[in-house]
Amino acid sequence: MLRAVYPGSFDPVTFGHLNIIQKAAYFSEELIVGLLSNNAKSPLFSIEERVNMLREVTKDYANVRVEVFDGLLIDFARSQNANAIIRGLRAITDLDYELQMSHTNHRLDPNIETIFMNTCTEYSYISSSMVKEIATYRGDVTGFVPQYVVGKLEEKFVGK
Ligand code: ADP
């Protein structure tokens, strides 16, 4: 049985992320969604806003927990007694970087296995950056993110 961490920036959480969470939770005794706080990207949402959105949209999953972490992913995984790291694949272009990360993490701790998952096809092209781009220009993002997140995006861009 997996005890897995699913790390990411989740700026904001999308239906693509949620689809991975749903699949990974099904195979896991516990799934810990790890929100990386020391990310070099300049985020739209603060850590508090992102953690709140993640907790809201995952509240119906009894075995999913959301935690914030910084530092090395492998250290976070160890701190959670995880035996697996879940990463999502959107396209073949993700694979080079993800394989490199997976080999590195395996070298750092061979007891923690990286597992790649893909989404159902209707979510495979969705990315947080695309959602933010559309929301900036007041486009309709209802097909890409949960309604709760739609509201948070509207609050960000209201009056701008
Ligand atoms: P990161 O900065 O680590 O890429 P993201 O929040 O963008 O953080 O993504 C977290 C994880 O979710 C990554 O493994 C990413 O590949 C995966 N992911 C994001 N969107 C999708 C999607 N539409 N389909 C499959 N995987 C996805």
pLDDT digits (tens, 9 = 90+) for 103-134: 999 999 999 999 999 988 999 999 999 999 99
Phi/psi for 31 (5° steps) reads -120, 120
Q: Taking the chain, what is the end-to-end CA distance rounded to the nearest angstrom?
A: 48
How many domains does the structure of the chain reveal? 1
Q: Print the domain residue range for 54.
A: 3-157
Q: 46 pLDDT exceeds 70?
A: yes
**What atom of ligand 1 comes closest to residue 86's alpha carbon?**
14
User: What DSSP designation does 37 have?
Assistant: S
pTM of the model: 0.95
Q: Give 118 Cα–ligand 1 centroid separation in angstroms.
A: 10
The single residue listed with the structure tokens 């020391």 is 38
Distance separating alpha carbons of residues 111 and 117, to the nearest angstrom: 19
Q: How many CA atoms lie within 13 A of 98 on its CB side?
A: 19
pLDDT recorded at residue 159? 61
For residue 41, name the pLDDT band (cuts at 50, 70, 90): confident
Express as a percent the part of the chain with pLDDT over 90: 88
Q: Give 45 Cα–ligand 1 centroid separation in angstroms.
A: 16
Q: Whose CA is nearest to atom 8 of ligand 1?
A: 8
Domain holding 88: CATH number? 3.40.50.620
Question: Is 115 in a helix, a strand, or coil?
Answer: strand
Give the mean pLDDT of 126-153: 96
